[in-house]
Structure 1
Amino acid sequence: MADTSSARAQILGGIRKALNSAEGTEEARRRLATHPRNLIPARAQLPHDRQVELFAAMATEVSATVELLGGMAEVPGAVADYLAGLNLPAELRVAPDAALDAIPWDQRPTLTVTRGRARDSDGASLTGAFAGVAETGTLMLLSGAERPTTLNFLPDTHIVVLRRGQIVGTMEDAWDRLRAAGGEGSLPRTVNFITGPSRTGDIEMRIELGAHGPRRLHILLVED
């Protein structure tokens, strides 16, 4: 058996040297302070209307479904019709998010709506999103008392309300928006980036949806 102790010592020694380097420390501080941007693909550098179209196209490409709505008043009907179309129970666990208070759930009295973190028995959840990334069709969701992370992963069906104005071109733009909203040093405990429903290709190299989270991701794209 090969002796790995010397290699391990060499690796750890290199790490210690880098940590004790004033130059390395200063470079790390500079990067944290300036938020340098990565290479930005041309497809994300578009007028906002085109970014919205790109977001919908990219989200659809990764097996999410996107529905365009004219306003929050259309959300109850869209949710009820979506669940009925899949022959799913008319039951929904909703994030206790003030941003969702404008949804008139009483318009669909046959839809049972409860609020709070996800339970084992919840088959469908509805949350808001902080941003949508056009480049990849990705949703950016933040944790918090009003936004339980369990709603993003436990139910089999995840429905997300996203306003058109929340769509940005790139992930860097989404981080910029988050820093501007909360200020430096006040980020949420968890930031989830979700691109399509949960999937795995581990079993015989076949894509299976719902392996580690929701098997369905339905995005309600609402006009501002």
Structure 2
Amino acid sequence: MSARDKILDRIRRNLGRGPLDEAAATVVRERIAGHKRNLVPARTDISPGRQVNLLQDKLEALAATVVRVPSLKEVPGQVRDYLSNHNLPSQIKMSPSPSLDEIPWGDVPMLEITRGAAVITDEVSITPAFGAIAETGTLCMASGPETPSTLNFLPENHIAVLKSSDIQGSFEQAWDSLRRKYGEAELPRTVNFISGPSRTADIEQQLIMGAHGPRRLHIVIVEDEQKA
């Protein structure tokens, strides 16, 4: 018996229930496959252009910074300016994701970029965002060999590149996008939802930034298609 089967068997015993009969199992399978919606806030049912605006408003309210650019070619200059404005080093650990290969990093030679997972000495990371949820101002980050989760949490400064076409209104829509890309059985091992820089007020009710992750979160939104 596998570890999974042992855990499920223990849960059944504690509930005083054996394995489901076929009729009950069919109901469960249909419910899982159906992804039935519950209550979804009305503010998510808005035009794509308003979704971008809502996302930016929510992120900035959560102490993240946001800049919008018309194309990928403006990204390196925005990264350079961000590093300069915050007196940060030009050494960057960047995700090996091919989606970032389209960006002309060579246009700003002062940026010293290495690719791979983050280590404790990295101060700045750049990653793509799988998507974002306008409803709450949240980035959706899917883990994998090309998008190591360490880049989201170890460096104190996290820069995320987000295409406006990947912004969704609600969490339900974000999960739909994940299922479309990966398939139900091949979802990423980890999906991180990030709303602003890391913070905590657990210690004497004092707000501390960067307690469990980046002290700063900066999002570059690339408006890759017309948003009305």
1:38 deviates by: 2.2
| 1:32 match | 32
| 2:105 match | 105
Does structure 1 conserve the Cα–Cα contact (< 8 Å) formed by 2:93 and 2:126? Answer: yes
Structure 2 counterparts to residues 51-200 of structure 1, below 5 A = 51-200=51-200
Aligned counterparts of 2:91 and 2:63: Cα–Cα separation in 1:
23
Q: What are the Cα deviations for residues 74-115 of structure 1, in whole angstroms up to 9, with x where unaligned?
A: 111111110110111111110000000011111111111111
1:21 deviates by: 4.5
Aligned counterparts of 1:28 and 1:59: Cα–Cα separation in 2:
37
Aligned to 1:38, what secondary structure does the other structure show? coil
Aligned to 2:106, what secondary structure does the other structure show? helix
Aligned counterparts of 1:182 and 1:16: Cα–Cα separation in 2:
36
Percent of aligned pairs with the same amino acid: 49
1:209 deviates by: 1.1
| Structure 1 runs not aligned, ≥5 long | 1-10
Q: What are the Cα deviations for residues 30-77 of structure 1, in whole angstroms up to 9, with x where unaligned?
A: 221101112110111101111111111111111111101111111111
CA RMSD of superposed structures (Å): 1.6
Flag the 1:16–1:207 CA change in 2: closer, same or farther, 3 A. farther
Aligned to 1:102, what secondary structure does the other structure show? coil
Amino acid at match of 2:96: P
| Structure 2 runs not aligned, ≥5 long | 1-10
Compute the TM-score of the two structures, normalised by the length of structure 2. Answer: 0.88
Aligned to 1:55, what secondary structure does the other structure show? helix
| 1:205 match | 205
Amino acid at match of 2:129: A
Aligned counterparts of 1:182 and 1:107: Cα–Cα separation in 2:
33
Q: What are the Cα deviations for residues 154-182 of structure 1, in whole angstroms up to 9, with x where unaligned?
A: 00000000011000100000011111122
The more displaced of 185-194 and 162-171 is 185-194
Aligned counterparts of 2:105 and 2:13: Cα–Cα separation in 1:
60
1:187 deviates by: 0.8
Aligned length in residues: 213
Does structure 1 conserve the Cα–Cα contact (< 8 Å) formed by 2:12 and 2:19? Answer: no
The more displaced of 118-127 and 181-190 is 181-190
Compute the TM-score of the two structures, normalised by the length of structure 1. Answer: 0.90
Aligned counterparts of 1:15 and 1:63: Cα–Cα separation in 2:
45
